[in-house]
Amino acid sequence: MDIKFNKDAGGSPQQGVVEEKGKQNVLLIVLLVLAAGFGYIYFFTGLIKPAQEQKVAEAPAPSQVIKKPLPAPGGEPAKAAVDASETKKDAAPAVQPEPVKAAQATVPAAKPVLQEAAKPKAEVKKTEAPQHVVKKPLPVVAKAGENKPAPLEKKQPVVVEKKPLPAKGGEKKTAVAKMPVEKISAHADAPPRLKKVVQKSAGKEPVVSADTAVSGRWTVLVGNYVLEETLATDLARVRKAGLKAYVVPGAQKKNHMNRLLLAEFTDRAAARIELDKLKRHTSDAFMIDSAGMHVVYAGSYLLDARASSEKERLTAAGFSLTLKRADVAIPTKNLTAGSFAEKNAAEDTLKKLRAAGVKATLSR
């Protein structure tokens, strides 16, 4: 068996090995280049990073969308509920911005898809919101009902303070009802003038009751009055002296009154007709029921001159009047300049009154 060796046969395997190594080197270089390229794209460009879909989906959990309660009928509790809802609304945007920014930074292309996915959730919660809102106003109404007694308790002391005033008026009305006989005046236009003076005095300073005026031990008494014209004059003089004046009810006194008698009637309706005719000409007319008779008077006057002038005027108007005298207990009023616990203070007030020409006395 002949074996032939030559140069060509011995060099061919070495060349094949070299070519294979060259190909392997080229493939390695290509792989390294590809790995470096993918690494650059992955770490520096962020194109191959997976999108954070779970975070973005969980972020727009707008649990605070249920913050539109119906207007509650109550006052302050409803405001509290509205304030609570406003605070929750303020808290809601604080949760939303971070995931939205992350979505913008990581996956800008997926943003509209995520927003569209978030909107149906919000709509579903908005549809569910009325059910929660319907339940919330019920405790609000209950709270409003519980808070209602509080303003009532505040109003009660105001009512209690106002009650004494009508009580005093009631006492005065009862006193007048006991004595409906007399209307005392000095002149024809006296009653309206007196009412105006009393209203002015009441507007400037309240009329003080006997208990409050005599609270001190020493009282400066200006005088006791039957005619309110004289009382009004002295009241103005006391105030002009720079002092406070107080009008308190006094004891009743019997005085001779001049009554203008029209007639006596057995029928009350007839008496009422004549009384109405008299009242068209004078406001002093009145009627007294005594012993089953209805007696109509054109007026009752303390001063003789006033009674005579009124009789002449009404006679000229067609009324036949008779002058009658009667002793009647008339309520009086006391005018004081205050009550004092110390005698020195009362004496100082008394000196001021006397310096102003007002006669006054000190009583204890």
Residues 34-68 pLDDT 10s: 999 888 888 888 676 655 554 545 555 555 566 66
213 & 113 share domain: no
DSSP-assigned letter for residue 66? -
- Which residue, among 57, 46, 166, 154, has the nearest Cα to 111 in the 3D structure? 57
Question: What does pLDDT average to over the chain?
Answer: 66
- The mean pLDDT value for 212-226 works out to 71
Domain of residue 71 covers 53-145
**Domain assignment present for 329:** yes
**Domain assignment present for 20:** no
* Across 106-115, 217-226, 234-243, 327-336, least confident range: 106-115
With bands split at pLDDT 50, 70 and 90, how would you rate the model's confidence at 160? very low
Write the burial class of residue 283 (CB in 10 Å: 0-12 exposed, 13-18 middle, 19+ buried).
middle
* Cβ partners under 8 Å of residue 357, min gap 6: 237
103 & 191 share domain: no
Which of the two residues, 42 and 150, has the higher pLDDT score?
42
Q: What pLDDT was estimated at residue 32?
A: 94
106 & 185 share domain: no
**Domain assignment present for 7:** no
CA distance 250 to 176: 14
**Domain assignment present for 69:** yes
307 & 190 share domain: yes
Q: What pLDDT was estimated at residue 276?
A: 92
Neighbours of 236 (CB within 10 A): 14
What are 290-316's pLDDT values in tens digits? Answer: 888 999 998 888 888 888 899 899 989
With bands split at pLDDT 50, 70 and 90, how would you rate the model's confidence at 22? confident
Question: Is residue 244 pLDDT above 80, yes or no?
Answer: yes
User: How many domains are there within the chain?
Assistant: 2
Q: Could you tell me which residues are beta bridge partners of residue 360?
A: none
314 & 188 share domain: yes
pTM over 0.95: no
**Tokens 């962020």, located at residue:** 46
Question: Is residue 163 pLDDT above 50, yes or no?
Answer: no
251 & 348 share domain: yes
The CATH number of whichever domain residue 257 belongs to comes to 3.30.70.1070
CA distance 125 to 60: 12
**Tokens 């509790």, located at residue:** 77
212 & 317 share domain: yes
Question: Is residue 265 pLDDT above 70, yes or no?
Answer: yes
- Which residue, among 348, 115, 26, 361, has the nearest Cα to 223 in the 3D structure? 361
Question: Is residue 328 pLDDT above 50, yes or no?
Answer: yes
Q: What pLDDT was estimated at residue 325?
A: 87
Question: Is residue 241 pLDDT above 50, yes or no?
Answer: yes
**Domain assignment present for 227:** yes
CA distance 314 to 260: 10
CA distance 269 to 195: 30
**Domain assignment present for 278:** yes
What are 74-95's pLDDT values in tens digits? Answer: 655 544 444 545 544 454 444 4
Question: Is residue 273 pLDDT above 50, yes or no?
Answer: yes
Q: What pLDDT was estimated at residue 75?
A: 52
Domain boundary among 101, 129, 145: 145
267 & 118 share domain: no
Question: Is residue 29 pLDDT above 90, yes or no?
Answer: yes
246 & 320 share domain: yes
Question: Is residue 231 pLDDT above 60, yes or no?
Answer: yes
209 & 72 share domain: no
- The mean pLDDT value for 167-178 works out to 40
Domain boundary among 101, 125, 145: 145
What are 104-120's pLDDT values in tens digits? Answer: 434 444 444 344 444 44
236 & 121 share domain: no
Which stretches of the chain are assigned E, i.e. beta strand? 218-225, 246-249, 253-265, 286-290, 293-301, 322-330, 333-340, 361-363
**Domain assignment present for 200:** yes
**Domain assignment present for 31:** no
Question: Is residue 70 pLDDT above 50, yes or no?
Answer: yes
Q: What pLDDT was estimated at residue 206?
A: 40
68 & 128 share domain: yes
CA distance 190 to 231: 12
